Amino acid sequence: MSKSNSFELPVELSSDKAAIELDETVGEEGVTCPECGSQNIIRDYERAELVCSACGLILMASIIDPSQTDKRAYTPEERDSREHIGAPLSSMLTNYGLTTKIDRHHVSNRFNRIKQWHTRLDWPRRNLLIATNEIRRLGSSLGIPKQAMEDAAVLYRKVFKLQLLRGRSINSFVAACVYLACRQHKIPRTLNELCDIAKSKAKSIRHSIHIIVRELNLKIIALNPSELIAAYSNNLHLSPDTEKRALEIIQNAKSANLILGKDPKGVAAAAIYLACIESGEKRSQGAISSITGVTEVTLRNRFKELKDIL
């Protein structure tokens, strides 16, 4: 008997719900099998895969089930049909959360070596584990939202995939990824704040930022000085009127194109110092410099520039 080159994929449907269903929209979108060219694509909701029914090739894995909704369930049948199984995928985990655990108590001794190799980590996963733990530490210290930490982990995975870490520090690239994630989400965190809690030197972190921006062709959103006013005013215990006046001064300087090419911290410090003088709240240059992280010389230079436009 001659054997055929292709075979039919067996499809079994249960009575209550189809474990494997044919998605009609897949064929309409023009998805074809790259192996045999067939358009008979099966969407397997149980395994979260797109499978070709002609040759059995898996076209896509970890697909999203659109039939699951977050509506309330009033009956046991509705609760069973809307039940979600498993935690969501997370870039903060080395294996995205798709882990497998072997029971250590109810497994025979012949699986001991399998369990031993299963718990070992190779270098890529060990590297990602070190990086994600450092991202959590920096994010917790800086008060960064979870989504920003997720994006920092995704950015670090791209850096690791491009092999940019060879001969370089992991901690410096982790800090650089966290800083770039803050810039993408417009989170007002300065590089000095990050360098104070990072495990690498500021020079190494800046060098890592330049490498990531150059290799990944990223566009960094410049930090707006007005985003720093709230934190600085809170640390200096200023009144809301003084804080509002500092924001107006920065807006006027922005309209006059005075903040282009200037350090945002210096502009924010000068605006706060000028607003304190106008409102009568006495704050010394040394106090403002220590809070904002700029020198008194920079503060005086930016103060003269802002005073000339008012």
Tokens 């690239």 identify what position? 173
Q: Average pLDDT of 66-85? A: 67
* pLDDT of 1: 41
Q: 21 forms bridges with which residues in the sheet?
A: 43
Q: Are 123-216 and 226-309 the same fold in CATH?
A: yes
Q: How many CA atoms lie within 13 A of 109 on its CB side?
A: 0
Of the chain, the percentage scoring pLDDT greater than 70 comes to 79
Token representation of residue 215: 């290799």
pLDDT band at 149 (very low <50, low <70, confident <90, very high): very high
What are the residues whose beta carbons fall under 8 Å from the beta carbon of 64, sequence distance 6 or more?
Answer: 48
Closest among 167, 168, 139 to 153, alpha carbons compared: 139
Segment 265-293, tens digit of pLDDT: 999 999 999 999 988 888 888 999 988 88
Q: Domain spans of the chain? A: 1-85, 123-216, 226-309
What are the residues whose beta carbons fall under 8 Å from the beta carbon of 129, sequence distance 6 or more?
Answer: 94, 121
CA distance 82 to 285: 61
Let me know how long the chain is: 310
* pLDDT of 165: 87
Domain 226-309, CATH: 1.10.472.10
* pLDDT of 8: 38
Segment 163-219, tens digit of pLDDT: 898 888 899 999 999 999 999 898 888 888 899 899 889 999 999 999 999 999 988
Segment 85-121, tens digit of pLDDT: 666 677 887 777 666 676 667 667 777 777 777 677 7
Q: Higher pLDDT residue, 83 or 199?
A: 199
| Weakest mean pLDDT among 11-15, 120-124, 210-214, 305-309 | 11-15
Asked if 95 contacts 153 with a C-beta cutoff of 8 angstroms, the reply is no
* pLDDT of 219: 85
* pLDDT of 209: 93
pLDDT > 60? residue 10: no
pLDDT band at 139 (very low <50, low <70, confident <90, very high): very high
Closest among 227, 171, 170 to 197, alpha carbons compared: 171
pLDDT band at 69 (very low <50, low <70, confident <90, very high): low
pLDDT > 90? residue 137: yes
Q: 22 forms bridges with which residues in the sheet?
A: 42
* pLDDT of 18: 35
pTM above 0.85, yes or no: no
- CATH class in words for 123-216: mainly alpha
Segment 225-255, tens digit of pLDDT: 888 898 899 989 999 999 999 999 999 888 8
